[in-house]
Structure 1
Amino acid sequence: MTHAPTPPARSEPTVRRASRPRLLDAMARRVLVVDGAMGTSIHSCPTCRHEDYLGRENCTDILVRSRPDVIRGIHESFLEVGADVVETDTFGANRLVAAEFDEELVSWVPELNRRAAEIAREACDRYATPERPRFVVGSMGPGTKLVTLGNTDWPTMLASYREQAAALLEG
């Protein structure tokens, strides 16, 4: 029986220290409402056009670059109906998934993550009050390459997620 290698030990993630206690405090006081499905919202968007994907069909993460107004509008639609937490439009915005499209998209991965976090933060800041802060969480999907199936290895996957997380935190 073959086992997947054990991932390397994690170091403490870098987190905006001011946000972490506020989020944990809010979670301790009440149930927080998280936004709905970003992907579903994008695919049902009546103003999105084929050209918005910049030649990368179904690469929804690219809309933070080509149509930030759409992504901001989706975040705001969830905040308007009471969401406390919104997820960034970055479910597939990592090096492994981007490589399935092209090398140019791979080079945009840090920018896409930073910009997605900025857009979500801007939307939350518009709706936040001292009594009811709004929070952004970074969306990091499982991707399409799995260590357990031999599609990639731990160091490559870990580097991809680290790059994505670092860029999300910058935003």
Structure 2
Amino acid sequence: MQFCWFIAVFVFMLIGGSANAQNYENIEKKNDSVGVINILQDERIDQLLATDSIINSQKQSFTGYRIQIFFGGSTDREKAFKIKEEFLELFPEERAYVVYTAPDFRVRVGNFRTKLESIELYKACAEFYPNCYPVKTEIMFSEMEPLEKETELIINDNVE
């Protein structure tokens, strides 16, 4: 009997708490042609959105993916640049980067926002570089600008 009494009190507390949630003082009403929308939100949400906007406007890069086709020690500098040149001959439309992270040289190619986008280039590279794999890295926004060849194509497309 005592257990039933406890459950009844608990249920009434839940009902009372949910009824109190409807009495929020900061109610913004927006009229629409179909009906009225009530938006209940804390004022601090607007402050957080403004802060997030400021932080994101100051960023110079984003986290993306590249395909790493070569990894070598500190003595493999010339080999890394040679592999970069070979890659650019095979894939002239892609970008290649030699990255030095002490004490190793790495050759990474492509600029992709997601890992899924990088899969197509990964499969193409795997034929020539069997040990390649996608790597998460920071990509500068300036590296996402079109190559000179691409801008010439865009200009030519607009002329025709």
Give the TM interval when normalised to the shorter protein: under 0.3
TM-score between both structures, scaled by the size of structure 2:
0.21
Higher strand share: 2
Choose 1 or 2 for highest CA Rg.
Answer: 2
TM-score between both structures, scaled by the size of structure 1:
0.20
